[in-house]
Amino acid sequence: MNLTKLRRNYTGYMFLAPFIIGFLIFGLYPVLNTLGLSFTNTTVMSSESRFIWLDNFKRLFADVVFIRAIGNTWLIWMMNFIPQMGIALLLSVLFTSARLKIKAIGTWRAIFFLPNLLMPAAVAALFNAMFAYYGPMNQLMVRSGILSVAMRFLENIWVTRGLVSFIQWWLWFGQTIIIVMAGMTSIPVHLYEAAMVDGASVWQMFRRITLPLLRPILIFIFVTSLVGGMQMFDIPFMLTDGRGSPLSSIQTNNILMYMKFASSQGHIGAASSVGVMVFLMTSICALGIFYFLRERDMGDGKPKRKLFSKKNIER
């Protein structure tokens, strides 16, 4: 019997081994190696390197470009995520509404998800061509009389930020809709029926039933969107000249990390310090999301408040 159990355990370990080995080689080792390189002056063009401890981080925080890159990254992510989440929740409520009974929901979901299948770099290059000085957008607006002369869209700070945010939103809001709809359809119908008997309105049911029960889904969306937003690179890089122009208004953390590596003989240590700061910032914010959106319980393990009650519905 013990031999049989041992063989079963080994079989399980064999199935787990490919993932564990892959994670150690391609996941954990790069993180630890980047952390180690951030304390050195390693460059691509030099075979020697030495520990300089926190010098890379001191130069980083003294650099105004790094502070601006952090601000740009957060601003563009917020400009993308807020409408993405709002529209996804709105459309999910409409598609799952038993009163509206919208037909061909599967078709609509497929249409909204289609942009997610496109390569972000290709979409950014397409928008670069569309909003160029002699591009189709200028031709259309000048010929229709909206503009008297052609406009240099990609030299305007807020236009470029808006384009990056729009592309990010357009590519990902379809996936967010599918995830939110999956969460909404898993909520038991009898909760809404009981709330309707108590006289709850649509908004009260959404606030007191739908949102609390969607908490795990919302945490997942928040964290994955945050991780993707902090790693934004291809869209702002391909939309302009690759340096986050105009006036570094769309220069993100990852573009700065690339520039640190591409300049000054490929300074791997300086680029690694940017990567470490992005990792720390993302990890701290993700932990904050888990903490503030977690389901709080009382000492006896019961929830602090019911999902709906007469007192909660009247609020």
How far apart CA 314 and CA 208 sit, in angstroms, is 11
Structure tokens at 218: 């919302």
At 251-282, the pLDDT tens digits run: 999 998 888 887 756 788 999 999 999 999 99
In terms of C-beta density within 10 A (0-12 exposed, 13-18 middle, 19 or more buried), how is residue 213 classed? middle
* Amino acid at the residue 233: F
* Domain assignment present for 271: yes
* Domain assignment present for 132: yes
* Domain assignment present for 181: yes
Of the candidate ranges 2-11, 29-38, 55-64, the one whose mean pLDDT is the lowest:
2-11
Which CATH number goes with the domain that contains 225?
1.10.3720.10
* SS3 at position 89: helix
Of the candidate ranges 43-57, 208-222, 286-300, the one whose mean pLDDT is the lowest:
286-300
Of the candidate ranges 147-151, 218-222, 289-293, the one whose mean pLDDT is the lowest:
289-293
**What is the predicted pLDDT for the residue at 111?**
92
H/E stretch holding 158: helix 157-185
pLDDT band at 300 (very low <50, low <70, confident <90, very high): very low
* Domain assignment present for 227: yes
* Domain assignment present for 18: no
* Residue-number span of the structural domain to which 285 is assigned: 55-314
* Domain assignment present for 22: no
* SS3 at position 303: strand
pLDDT band at 296 (very low <50, low <70, confident <90, very high): low
**What is the predicted pLDDT for the residue at 264?**
59
Q: Convert 262-297 into a string of H (helix), E (strand) and C (coil).
A: HCCCCEHHHHHHHHHHHHHHHHHHHHHHHHHCCCCE
Highest-confidence range of 3-7, 10-14, 140-144, by mean pLDDT? 140-144
Tell me how far the alpha carbon of residue 272 is from its chain's centroid: 21
* Domain assignment present for 43: no
At 95-131, the pLDDT tens digits run: 888 777 888 888 998 999 999 999 999 999 999 999 9
Domain count, the chain: 1
185 within 8 A of 277, measured Cβ to Cβ: no
Average pLDDT estimate for 160-188: 93
Place of tokens 């609390």: 212
**What is the predicted pLDDT for the residue at 4?**
61
More confident position, 5 or 299: 5
